[in-house]
């Protein structure tokens, strides 16, 4: 459960003993050089500490802005050619298919979804990506 990250009434030694793993749509690595630089620049510009939505907005704007610049308005056809790892998430867009007509074997793309999800483990009294 992602909300376990914000629990403050539980003794974290329980998390350690149980080897807790959770899923999360985002993870901001506080020791990343890029994250520290973003925080500093954000504070210098806006006079406030960035919240999770600030990181999301940065990642989304940068990714889609680059895709529009590189591929134009049909950029969704190039999702498979442009992996992106941002400050708080990765983008791995996959098509969601919809059947065209009853009994038909033809499908069309209904939408795209970011299929990436972080798996975080609790280790050394903090949540960290499990793939580290």
Highest mean pLDDT among 24-38, 46-60, 115-129: 46-60
In whole angstroms, give the CA distance from residue 45 to residue 55: 14
Exposed, middle or buried, 28 (CB in 10 Å: 0-12/13-18/19+)? middle
pLDDT at 54 > cutoff 90: yes
Answer whether 27's CB lies under 8 Å from 56's CB. Answer: no
Give the global pTM. 0.74
Residue 27: predicted pLDDT: 86
Number of domains in the chain: 1
Residue 11: predicted pLDDT: 64
Q: What percentage of the chain carries pLDDT values higher than 90?
A: 34
| Domain hosting residue 54, numbered range | 26-116
* 65 within domain boundaries: yes
* 6 within domain boundaries: no
* 130 within domain boundaries: no
User: Which has the higher per-residue pLDDT, 79 or 44?
Assistant: 44
Output the average pLDDT for the chain: 82
């Amino acid at each position: 459960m992602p909300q376990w990250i914000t629990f403050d009434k539980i003794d974290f030694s329980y998390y350690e003993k149980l080897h807790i793993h959770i899923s999360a749509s985002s993870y901001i690595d506080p020791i990343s050089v890029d994250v520290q630089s973003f925080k500093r620049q954000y504070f210098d510009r806006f006079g406030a500490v960035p919240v999770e939505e600030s990181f999301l907005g940065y990642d989304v704007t940068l990714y889609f802005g680059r895709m529009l610049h590189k591929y134009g308005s049909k950029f969704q056809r190039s999702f498979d050619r442009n992996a992106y790892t941002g400050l708080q998430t990765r983008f791995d867009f996959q098509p969601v298919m919809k059947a065209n007509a009853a009994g038909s074997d033809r499908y069309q793309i209904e939408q795209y979804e970011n299929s990436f999800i972080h798996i975080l483990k609790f280790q050394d009294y903090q949540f960290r990506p499990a793939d580290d």
